[in-house]
Amino acid sequence: MAEEQKWQEPEGYRLCANNCGFFGSPTTLHLCSKCYKDHCLKEQQASTIEVNFPTVPAAAAEKAVEVEAKRANRCATCSRRVGLTGFNCRCGTTFCGTHRYPEQHGCTFDFKAMGKEEIARANPVVKAEKLDKI
């Protein structure tokens, strides 16, 4: 017991390169898990900064924003603000609670033809071949 025992690091592992007190491994560039994660995040952020995005003319960008803003905020019949409670009709317009029914807003969508098409798709005509009489 007179000899001092020196602490030896396990093979392949040594303290983190950032001197945070944890062990790092050669697979993680001798960094601990937290420092390695931070290192990877910094690399990803640096690579996303270098990416060049194609430029869009300012006039075209403004028009796109205006179209999206006008789309679904008002009822097409009474121009009442509908917000999140608007009802989208199959004719492609938005209506308030009173004008949501096709009879109320004079809908131009042909529900009858759509129903016939759905029935025809769901129930195909099956014809059996004629049998030869003996």
- How far apart, in Å, are the Cα atoms of 3 and each of 6, 7, 8, 10, 36? 9, 13, 15, 21, 38
Q: Which two tokens stand for residue 104?
A: 């109320």
Confidence at 121, pLDDT banded by 50, 70, 90: very high
Catalogue all structural domains in the chain, each as residue range(s) with its CATH number: 14-50 (no CATH), 71-122 (4.10.1110.10)
DSSP per residue, 30-89:
TB-HHHHHHHHHHHHHHHHHHPPPPP--HHHHHHHHHHHHHSSSB-TTT--B-GGG-EE-
Using one digit for the tens of pLDDT, what is the confidence trace for 46-61? 877 655 555 656 555 5
**Mean pLDDT in the chain?**
79
Please give the residue that has the higher pLDDT: either 128 or 77.
Answer: 77
What pLDDT is recorded for position 126? 79
Taking the model in full, what pTM does it have? 0.38
**Residues 34 and 22: beta-carbon distance below 8 Å:** yes
Average the pLDDT over each of 8-17, 22-31, 118-127 and give the range with the smallest value. Answer: 8-17
pLDDT, tens digit, 9 for 90 and up, residues 95-108: 999 999 988 888 88
Q: What's residue 128's pLDDT?
A: 79
Exposure on the CB side of residue 116, measured as CA atoms within 13 A: 4
Which pLDDT band, with edges at 50, 70 and 90, does 110 fall under? very high
pLDDT tens track for 19-46:
888 888 888 888 888 898 898 888 888 8
Distance CA 95, CA 77 (A): 7
CA–CA gap between residue 102 and residue 114 (Å, rounded): 14
Provide the pLDDT for residue 70.
55
